[in-house]
Amino acid sequence: LPRNLLPTVFSLPQKKADFIALAKTLSEIFLQSSDETVLKNVALSLRFLSHGDHSRAPDGRLQLKNVTQELRDRLVDLFADDILGSAGAEGGSQSKRKRRSNASSPSKRRRGASSTSSRASTADVTDDEDSGIDGATNSADTEYGIYLNLMRMRILFKRCDLSPYLQDEDGTTSSDDDGVEALCSVIADGLAQRLKARKVAPKDDGDDDSNDDDETSTKGESLWDKDVKKVAMTTAKAVDEGISLIISATAWKYREVLEQEDLVVGDDDDVIMDESSKDGEDEEVEDHLVLRLRNRAIALIELCFEQFVEDSGDEDGSVPDYTDEQIAFSVYMQTAGCGAASDLRNLFPKELAGAASPLLRAFSIKNDGRLIGGYVRCFRS
C-alpha cells in the first residue's frame, strides 16, 4: 500500500500523525511476521517511506533504524545462548554479556520493553530459566528464533543499506563499518560453531570401545543423537540465511568503496589512464573491511562444503553409514554453499586481479579452487 501513495502527501502537516502511525505499524508487522512474502512487501514499504525528498523521510528512517537495531539485539542474544552445551550457565551468561558489548557498544541502549517483546515474538526462545521446558525444546526454539531473525535481517539488508543504522546510539563511538563488522562477526562465529558441531560422521558400530575419535566427531555424533526435535534443518536454513546476509552486507560496503574511490566507469568516462595518474597505485591492500567480510563468507562456505557425505551403506548394503536427517542436512548445506560461492565469485571475479586499482586487485578471489571444487563435488554426488 505505501508504494501506491504519493510522496508529496506525506509532507502535508495534517498527515504527520498518520505517517508516523503507518511507519510504526509496518515496523511491528515486520518484527512479528514469519511469512517471507509479507516480510519482503513490508521491507519494500519501509524503504519507500524512509527514502525520497519528502519531509517525513527522517521519521521513516527512524523506524527503519529501530527495526534494524531490534533485530541486531535479538540476534546477539540468541547467538549468545549456550544451546550446544559447551559451557555452563555462568559461562553462557558471561558470553552473552560479552557479545552484546562487542556487537553494540552501549548495550547500554537495551530497550527494556522491546527486549521483552523481542523474546515474545520468537516464542520465548531465550527464557529457559523461567519457562520450565526441557533442553531439547529450548534448543529448537532458539534455532528457530535465529533462523527467523536472520531471514528478517537478510530481507531488509537486501532491500537497503542498513550500515548507518548499526552505529551506536549517539553515533560517535563507532563507525558504520564497525557496526556492520561486529554484527557479521557475531553471526559468522555462531554459524561456524554450529557447522563444526553438526559435522556428520558415520557411526562405527564395530568399535564401541573406541575412545580415540577426534573431538569434532564426538561432538557431532552426540549432537545428532540428542536431536530429538529434528532441529538440524532449521540450523541449515539459518546458515543459508546468515551467509546471504553477510554477502549482502559485503556487497553494500563494496558498492560504497567503488563510489568513494571513483572506480565506477560511466559511458562518457575516459577509461584510458595516463602514466601520471598511476602514481601511488602500486601499493597492495592487505587489510580492508570488504576483504574481512568476504573472507568470513568464504570460511562459512567452505564449512558448508565440509558437510559433504557419501550416500552409501556398509558392504552388505544393510546398514547405512548416515541417517536420513544427516544426508538431508548435508545436501542442504552443499546447495547453500554452491549458491553463496556463485554469488561471491560473481561479485569478486578472478579477472579483477588484473585491474589498475590495488583495491580491486585485492578484492579479487584469486584462489577459488576450493569454492569450485566444492561446487563440482556437490553436482557429481
Walk along the chain (381 residues) and give the pLDDT tens digit of each residue.
666 777 778 888 888 898 899 999 999 999 999 999 999 999 999 998 888 778 888 999 999 999 999 999 999 999 987 444 444 444 444 545 454 555 554 334 334 434 434 443 444 443 434 443 455 678 888 899 999 999 999 999 999 999 999 876 655 445 666 889 999 999 999 999 999 988 876 655 544 444 444 444 444 445 676 665 578 899 999 999 999 999 999 999 999 988 888 877 665 555 545 444 444 456 777 788 999 999 999 999 999 988 888 765 555 554 457 788 888 888 899 899 999 999 998 999 988 888 888 888 888 888 877 788 777 777 766
Cα dist from 102 to 108, 131, 304, 338, whole Å: 12, 28, 26, 31
> The cell 556492520 sits on which residue?
180
Count the neighbouring beta carbons within 10 Å of the beta carbon of residue 171. Answer: 11
**In 160-231, where does DSSP find H-type helix?**
176-198, 215-225
pTM of the model: 0.78
Backbone angles phi, psi at 320, to 5 degrees: -70, 145
Backbone angles phi, psi at 313, to 5 degrees: -120, -170
Closest CA to 302 of 183, 196, 184, 223: 196
Distance CA 123, CA 128 (A): 11
Give the pLDDT score at 220.
40
Give the pLDDT score at 87.
45
Give the pLDDT score at 32.
95
What size, in residues, is the chain?
Answer: 381
Distance CA 141, CA 138 (A): 5
Burial class (CB in 10 A: 0-12, 13-18, 19+), 207: exposed
Give the pLDDT score at 122.
47
Distance CA 107, CA 126 (A): 17
Give the pLDDT score at 212.
47
